[in-house]
Structure 1
Amino acid sequence: MNRALIFDCDGVLADTERDGHLPAFNETFAHFELPVRWSQDDYARVLRIGGGKERLASLLTPAFVEAAGLPKDKAAHQRLIKRWHKEKTGRYTTKVRAGEMPGRPGIARIVSEAHDAGWTLAVASTSAEESVRAVLEHAVGRNAAAWFSVYAGDIVPRKKPAPDIYLLALNELGISATNAIVVEDSANGLRAARAAGLTTVITVSSYTGDEDFTGAALVVDCLGDLPESPARFIENPHKVENTGQVTLDTLVNLSAR
């Protein structure tokens, strides 16, 4: 049986939002002399919007446009969003390549286990593809990153919580939903994966601990690396064995429920 393990990127492969995306957004705002700086609390709210361009677009209220002295027509707004997003992506990717955001516990381990067992590996993310590939290489190593198919950015018309990115990944990989497991970190990601019929494991990240993960097959604080970083099982509705790590056996048992 051909199985697939599909990861979200931000918050899953690495805890990138707090230490990568947020400062990159704020540096971009300063670069363009925009009258906004997102605090940690601001960014927690913004994260409910899927996609970086969409988060930038949320700024463009009439009051903000007036305060920033921006043009008022929609076409100009789209050009501005594209420029801002390109600048932000470049700054974020520089941070990733500088090694500022290591992979989360258990990621490199389970990727190696899945590859050795013949599983198909993929990333499905609403972030820009350049950013995703940079995070992937630093989380699992350049050689292991080559094992992955990457589906990211504007490759689909609707971002999470729509299921489009996962439906595309399943179609391109030639894998049925019943033979795939997703690792996500957010309620939006869970909704997207579940709408595509996928069994979903949640690894909560800096901004998602208080979200509603109803429907997740398992919720943990990380995938775990023993003995240094054991996984804490937060919600375990299927009562799978807690060994301190999420393993391939854990995932197979979850997919059978």
Structure 2
Amino acid sequence: MTTLIFDCDGVLSDTERDGHRPAFNQTFAEMSVPLDWSEEEYAHKLQIAGGKERMASELTPEFVRANGLPTDPEGQAATIAAWHARKTAIYTQMAAAGKLPPRPGVHRIIAAAQDAGWTLAVASTSAEASVRAILEAAVGPERAARFDAVLAGDVVKAKKPAPDIYLLALERLGVDPADVLVVEDSRNGLLAATAAGLRCLLTVNGYTEGEPNDEAILVVSTLGDPDGEHTRVIANRSRATPGEVVTLADLARCLE
């Protein structure tokens, strides 16, 4: 049985640009933290997997001292946890309000895969509440509930590009790696999937299109919608032959 495992951010929705960065910046403003990540700054932050980890990267000795933040590890961890909890709440509210629409082709492919009896999962290092909100916004509550697994947040210690989240997905799903295709959007995700022995399709975005992608079986601009944005093939190392859109048959051919 064919299995599709989706990353969340940048795959199900263009969340980094439209959701996470604004939510981080709103949190900083509410918490009186003198940070306001620009598009360019946030692009660099995306090289760090995990929201708490991105926030923690700002806690240099100089920044901590200048802003009266805790200097001990426990105090800093508590501060980051409080910031991140507020950021997650802001982001989840945005998703629930429909402010983060799915990327082209996501609903179409998920519906087709479920109707064909494929196994579906999400594997993300984002907070579980955020991931579930994005998934429901992308495909609706009924189809979201039919996913075989949603793995998110701190379910593994090592985040992408470590393969841990995908190794856990294989264990939970009990599937053959040869029958699994991962849909990712970034190099960190690509490296995580391939390190777990899985083939990976990339749907890149403005933050990730310039990243190396040699390990990907297929790289496209989007999965595409017949009546909306069409697919642009960037690299193809598979037997798939996408036209205006990536089809379920194309995904199956990525595993041949």
2:106 paired residue number:
107
Could you tell me which runs of 5 or more consecutive residues in structure 2 were left unpaired when the two chains were aligned: none
Write the distance in 1 (CA, Å) between the matches of 2:15 and 2:231. Answer: 19
Q: Distance in 1 between matches of 2:186 and 2:24?
A: 20
Give, in whole Å, the separation in 1 of the partners of 2:240 and 2:2. 19
Partner of 1:135: 134
Q: CA RMSD in A?
A: 0.9
Instruction: Note the C-alpha offset of 1:36.
Output: 1.2
CA contact (8 A) 1:15 1:206 kept: no
Q: TM-score, normalised by structure 2?
A: 0.98
Structure 1 gaps, min length 5: none
Cα distance in 1 between the residues matched to 2:107 and 2:53: 30
Q: For residues 10-42 of structure 1, give each alpha carbon's deviation from its aligned partner in whole angstroms, at most 9, with x where no partner exists.
A: 000000011100010001111111111110000
Counterpart residue type for residue 51 of structure 1: G
Conservation of the 8 A alpha-carbon contact between 1:11 and 1:206: no
Q: Secondary structure at the match of 1:141?
A: helix
Paired letter, 1:7: F
> 5 Å matches for 1:237-248?
237-238=237-238, 240-248=240-248
Q: CA deviation at 1:68?
A: 1.2
Q: Give the alignment of 1:70-219 within 5 angstroms.
A: 70-148=69-147, 149-219=149-219
Q: Distance in 2 between matches of 1:253 and 1:170?
A: 20
Does the 8 A contact of 2:239 with 2:253 survive in 1? Answer: no
8 A Cα contact 2:2 2:252, kept in partner: no
Structure-2 separation of matches of 1:4 and 1:100: 29
Question: In the TM superposition, what is the alpha-carbon distance from 1:96 to its structure 2 partner?
Answer: 0.7
Q: Percent of aligned pairs with the same residue?
A: 55
Aligned length: 255
The question of whether the paired residues in 2 share the 8 Å contact of 1:5 and 1:180 is answered with yes
Following TM superposition, by how much is the alpha carbon of 1:228 offset from its aligned partner in structure 2, in angstroms? 2.3
| TM-score (normalizing by structure 1) | 0.97
Query: Which stretch of structure 1 is more off in the superposition, 46-55 or 242-251?
Result: 242-251
Structure 1 position 240, deviation (Å): 2.5
The one-letter amino acid of 1:161's match is P
Give how far 1:237 is off: 2.3
TM superposition outliers: structure 1 runs of 4+ over 3 Å:
none
Q: Could you tell me how far apart the structure 2 residues matched to 1:87 and 1:145 are?
A: 24
Q: Which amino acid aligns with 1:219?
A: V
Deviations 1:19-66 (A, max 9, x none): 100010001111111111110000000000001111111011101101
Q: How does 1:17-32 map to 2 (within 5 A)?
A: 17-32=16-31
Conservation of the 8 A alpha-carbon contact between 2:104 and 2:228: no
